[in-house]
Every structure is written in structure tokens, then in C-alpha cells.
């Protein structure tokens, strides 16, 4: 059993995680289209990760015998100016998601919902890693700039950095 406010926030977070998945899938297509298979693979893996994030909350809501609502997932951008813009967007998006997670956590605290706080703690920790990864790769992308041979090597390196 969950408080109505908490249930609403959790359902919104399921949608936000699916939107993240969708956004990364779009970025994966953009990278694939520009012959950047390493970045495309990274983004596709992230698409899978974000779906797992959504499903973890989905399962929790069901475990609490509450109803999941699955409203439409907003359309993500399909056009990016550059690889750097993709990584700027990624980093900004993860920072935004962190703020959403913190709001859900704060609400669970206010409502004295200890189980939801436990669930959200996992996301708080996960977001630290997600932001760190995004900012590290953004810095590398900035470093190589438009040097095509450096981009080629970074593309290979980035997929290996995820163990693929
Ligand atoms: Fe996520
Ligand atoms: Fe994420």
C-alpha cells in the first residue's frame, strides 16, 4: 500500500525512465547513421539500462499491490548538431533525472514511506555513476573536437569501456 502522492510520483518516474530509454535509442540511431558504431553500442546499452530502471519501479509498484499507469512516452529528439551536442544533452539529461529522483526520495521521506526510500536509495547511488560516466565521456569528446582520427579511436574506446 502506498500513499497516493508517492504512487503518482513513482508512476511519473517509470515514465521518465522509459523516456530516457527512448532518448538513448534515438541517440543510438544518430550515432549509427554517422558511422560511430562504438557510440551507437554505448547508447543502445544505455537504452536497455533505462528500461531496467523503469521496470524496477514497475515491479515495486505491483509488489505494493498498486496500479501502474503507463501514459504515452514523449517523442525524443532525432536531430543533433554534433557528437558533442549528444553528450552535452546526455549529461544535462542525467542531471535532470537526478533532480527527479531526489524529489521522489524527498517525498517518500515526508510521507514517512521507508520502503520507497529504500528503493529510491538505489537510484540516488545509480545517478552518481550515470552523471560521472556522462561527464567523463563529454570531456573526452570535447578534447578530440573535430579530429576525425581521434573520434575514430574514441568510438572504439567508448564501447570497450562498457565491456562490450
Ligand atoms: Fe535511469
Ligand atoms: Fe540514466
d(CA 8, CA 125): 22
Q: Which ligand is nearest to the CA of 54?
A: 1
State the distance from the centre of ligand 2 to the C-alpha of 121, rounded, in angstroms: 15
Q: Tell me the pLDDT tens digit for each residue of 61-92.
A: 999 999 999 999 999 998 999 999 999 999 99
State the distance from the centre of ligand 1 to the C-alpha of 50, rounded, in angstroms: 5
d(CA 80, CA 151): 17
Domain that holds residue 124: 4-160
Report, as ranges of residue numbers, the positions in the chain whose pLDDT lies below 70: 163-164
- The CATH number of whichever domain residue 82 belongs to comes to 1.20.1260.10
Q: Tell me the pLDDT tens digit for each residue of 19-29.
A: 999 999 999 99
Total structural domains in the chain?
Answer: 1
DSSP line for 76-137: PP---S-HHHHHHHHHHHHHHHHHHHHHHHHHHHHTT-HHHHHHHHHHHHHHHHHHHHHHHH
Amino acid 159: pLDDT: 84
State the distance from the centre of ligand 2 to the C-alpha of 95, rounded, in angstroms: 9
pTM: 0.95
Amino acid at each position: 500500500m502506498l500513499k497516493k502522492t508517492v504512487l503518482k510520483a513513482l508512476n511519473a518516474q517509470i515514465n521518465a525512465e522509459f523516456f530516457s530509454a527512448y532518448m538513448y535509442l534515438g541517440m543510438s540511431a544518430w550515432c549509427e547513421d554517422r558511422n560511430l558504431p562504438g557510440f551507437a553500442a554505448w547508447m543502445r546499452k544505455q537504452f536497455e539500462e533505462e528500461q531496467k530502471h523503469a521496470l524496477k519501479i514497475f515491479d515495486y509498484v505491483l509488489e505494493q499491490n498498486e496500479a501502474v499507469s503507463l501514459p504515452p512516452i514523449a517523442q525524443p529528439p532525432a536531430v543533433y548538431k554534433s557528437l558533442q551536442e549528444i553528450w552535452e544533452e546526455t549529461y544535462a539529461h542525467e542531471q535532470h533525472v537526478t533532480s527527479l529522483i531526489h524529489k521522489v526520495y524527498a517525498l517518500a521521506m515526508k510521507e514517512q514511506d521507508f520502503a520507497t526510500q529504500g528503493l529510491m536509495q538505489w537510484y540516488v547511488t545509480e545517478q552518481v555513476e550515470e552523471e560521472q560516466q556522462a561527464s567523463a565521456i563529454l570531456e573526452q569528446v570535447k578534447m578530440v573536437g573535430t579530429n576525425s582520427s581521434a573520434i575514430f579511436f574514441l568510438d572504439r574506446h567508448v564501447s570497450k569501456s562498457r565491456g562490450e
